[in-house]
Amino acid sequence: MTEPRVAEELKKMEGEYEPLLPVERKLIWYTFTTGVVLLAIFVLISRWFA
């Protein structure tokens, strides 16, 4: 197997952009929102109970 050079790989990506799929947008949005909500909850718990 030939070893791909990263520079060539990256150049190839410029010409073949993969648009963000709706499922990717959901993944990003849900993950981030869950993180922020959990963060707020844990901060409160750590201040009140820990």
Partner 1 sequence: MTNLLTTSNQPAAPSEGEALAIAQTRLNEDWLAVWIGLFVFALSLTLLFGIDLLGWTITTSVWTAPSKALAPASKFYAHLPASLSLIATYFFLLVVLLVSAKALRADLKRFAVGFTAIFIVSYACWFLGSWAYIAATPDKRPALKIAWSLNLTNESGFIIALLAGLIVGNFLPGVARALKEAVRPELYIKTAIVILGGFLGIAALEQRQLATSVIFRGICAIIEAYLIYWPIVYFISRRYFGFSREWAAPLASGISICGVSAAIATGSAIRARPVVPIMVSSLVVVFAVIELMVLPFAAQHFLYGQPLVAGAWMGLAVKTDGAAVASGAITDALIRAKALAATGVVYQAGWITGVSATVKVFIDVFIGVWAFILAWIWSAKIERRPGEKVRVVEIWQRFPKFILGYVATFLIVLAIGIAAPGLIPKVKASMAQANLFRSIFFLMTFFAIGVLSNFRKLWQEGIAKLAAVYVLCLFGYIIWVGLLISWLFFHGVLPPTLKG
> Would you tell me which residues interact with partner 1 (CB under 8 A)?
1, 3-10, 13-14, 16-18, 20-21, 23-24, 27-29, 31-32, 34-36, 38-39, 42-43, 45-46, 50
Q: At 46, which helix (H) or strand (E)? A: helix 22-48
Residue with tokens 């901060």: 43
Q: Could you tell me the smallest distance in angstroms from the CB atom of residue 18 to partner 1?
A: 5
Q: Could you tell me the smallest distance in angstroms from the CB atom of residue 50 to partner 1?
A: 5
Q: Could you tell me the smallest distance in angstroms from the CB atom of residue 42 to partner 1?
A: 4
CA gap 36, 48 in Å, rounded: 18
Q: How far out from the chain centre does Cα 21 lie?
A: 13
